[in-house]
Amino acid sequence: MNETDGRRARAWKRWLGPLAMGYLLAVSLACGSSGGDTTEEEEEAPATIHVLRANYGTALSPQQQITTPVTEFAPTDPVCISVEIEGRPRSGTVTLRWPLGAENVEAQVDLADLNGSVIWSAGQTTYVGGTLSHQGMLPPGQHETIVLYQGVEVGRYPYQVAAPPASIAGPYTTEPTVAQPSPPVVNPLPSATPVIYGHWVHPAVPASEHITFALVAVSVGEAAPPMTQVSSAELDATVAGPMNGPLQFSLPRPWPPGAYRMVGSGNTLGQFATLDFTIQ
């Protein structure tokens, strides 16, 4: 791995944060076909295939065509692609490959499963659809799907992932995990809650940024001054780029009832995100 690839891989891990170790990607792949009249004709696997176009969206029809097209994906969206192939090749393997950081996620479909028993017609089209599902968040920026036939690349098709606004999600009473990246929000929180969790996102953290997350009491009883810090956490960014991760604040129970706020700030970013909630 060269230095550039190493930085890219680290940036991906930073974006996936604590979910990176268990980041899961599920791929569904299927075929559909459409076209005109058929005439019987024996056909061997062609040397290559001609991809007419590839379309993106967040949902596929049973015929493997995009039903919900998008020009830009949110980081949590499934990435659906419909690859339109000229004619009905009766055999051969089509591979969809998604480069994700330093890894490749891919799935294959055997065209013989679809077209082996279908009579050839030069006027027909084959659709190969794939869905990239994930339990983490895709890093913002331009990515691509690589289409291969019989192991040979036949096209690259870019897609864009939007940068989410800086934010803090929550509060949660259970820690965000790969299996449950967004637990149910609980607001107001019971005063007996032992630990309060959140999850933060920032699309562009500068290198060497010192980030602080504070839990402050906005108003707790009449005698408490406003914005009293009750807990904090810190981290240092080592590589510029998008970041996200969990937050965890614990205090001796019971928590005093009142209004609270999680605040994210950086030494050059300033305050970039807040989350208000109450304890009753």
**R_g of the chain, CA atoms, integer Å:** 25
The pLDDT tens digits for 15-44 are 433 323 233 444 445 566 665 544 445 456
| Tokens, residue 220 | 């707790």
Q: Cα–Cα distance between 69 and 77 in angstroms, integer? A: 12
pTM (two decimals): 0.61
Residue 166 has pLDDT above 70, yes or no: yes
CATH topology of domain 3-13+22-161: S-adenosyl-L-methionine-dependent methyltransferases (2.20.130)
The pLDDT tens digits for 62-72 are 888 899 999 99
- Those residues whose C-beta lies under 8 Å from the C-beta of residue 57, and which sit 6 or more positions away, are 66, 67, 68, 69, 70, 80, 82
Question: DSSP per residue over 165-220, as a string?
Answer: PPEEEEEESS---SS-SSPPP-SSBPTT-SEEEEEEEEEEEPTT-EEEEEEEEEE-
Q: By the 8 A CB rule, do 154 and 148 touch?
A: yes
Q: By the 8 A CB rule, do 98 and 108 touch?
A: no
Q: Cα–Cα distance between 2 and 192 in angstroms, integer? A: 51
Instruction: Give me the CATH code for the 167-279 domain, please.
Output: 2.60.40
Residues making up the chain, counted from first to last: 280
Q: By the 8 A CB rule, do 197 and 185 touch?
A: no
- Provide the pLDDT for residue 178: 66
- Provide the pLDDT for residue 31: 60
The pLDDT tens digits for 85-96 are 988 888 899 999
- Those residues whose C-beta lies under 8 Å from the C-beta of residue 251, and which sit 6 or more positions away, are 230, 231
Residue 225 has pLDDT above 60, yes or no: no
The pLDDT tens digits for 42-56 are 456 678 999 999 999
Q: By the 8 A CB rule, do 92 and 149 touch?
A: yes
The residue ranges of every structural domain in the chain are 3-13+22-161, 167-279
Alpha carbon 235 to its chain's center: 23
Q: By the 8 A CB rule, do 92 and 154 touch?
A: no
Name residue 80's beta-bridge partners: 57, 131
